[in-house]
Copies of this chain bind each other. A is one copy, B any other.
Amino acid sequence: MEVNSIFEGIIEEDVNKMLKCFEARKMTFKKDRTIITNIINVKMIGIILSGTANIIRYDYNGNRSIIESLEENSVFGEVFSRLGSDISVIATSDCEVLFIEYEHLIKRCKKNCPYHNALINNVLKLLSKKIVELNERLDILSKRSIRDKLLSYFELLASTNPKRSFLLPFTYTDLADYLSVDRSAMMREIKNLKDDGFIKTNGRRITLISY
């Protein structure tokens, strides 16, 4: 079974009981607000209940990197490395976020609430899914040229669509940050890809040409 939500297979009223048991806190954030920042020692996980957010980092040269783009049901928080880099989670739309302390989640609750197992299984699957996604991102970033990075990423997006067409989930500006390349160099390369007949574009709709 594909798990999409941390609460998959758990009915709503039980969800509410569980949340109490976990001492979970729900918070809402407006677009562009900082959800959490500099979270080196914060031992909690967050779940995006609605809306979208990005995990971003600025390096000491001021380059912005989008570490990850989060959507509904994304889990974040295990993300933060020991390195004290300047990482923040920023809401890219209005959103609701649920925070649970990691230790509360892990420990079998004393009351032994019946859905705890289901919840842990869901978290396991979400983490596995995230690992797959991180590996996909690594796959892209490990390409040695902008062209290959673009093609890998486009291939990934196109792979779910039989027409090999898809809508970019970002602006081109953000895409450059996601691929960790210079925007103008990326635009130039997209033009080259069009000229060379690899892709067609119409705004943010991109179609891979299968020759």
Contacts and interface: CB of A to CB of B under 8 A. Distances in A.
A131 B132 contact: no
B81 A136 contact: yes
A159 B159 CA distance: 40
A37 interface: no
B132 A134 contact: no
A85 B143 CA distance: 13
Most chain B CB within 10 A, of A102, A132, A156, is at A132
A146 to B, nearest CB: 11
Interface in A119-167: 120-121, 123-125, 127-128, 130-132, 134-139, 141-144, 148, 155-156, 159
Contacts of A159: 82-83
Contacts of A144: 63, 180-182
B78 A132 contact: yes
Q: Assembly of this chain: how many copies?
A: 2
Contacts of A89: none
A131 B78 CA distance: 7
A106 interface: yes
A4 interface: no
B83 A156 contact: yes
A67 B124 contact: no
Interface in A95-109: 102, 106, 108
B65 A142 contact: yes
B108 A117 contact: yes
A102 to B, nearest CB: 8
Interface of A: 57, 59, 61, 63, 65, 67, 78-83, 85, 102, 106, 108, 117, 120-121, 123-125, 127-128, 130-132, 134-139, 141-144, 148, 155-156, 159, 180-182
12 contacts: A78-B131, A79-B131, A80-B132, A82-B159, A83-B159, A106-B125, A127-B127, A127-B128, A134-B134, A141-B141, A142-B180, A144-B181
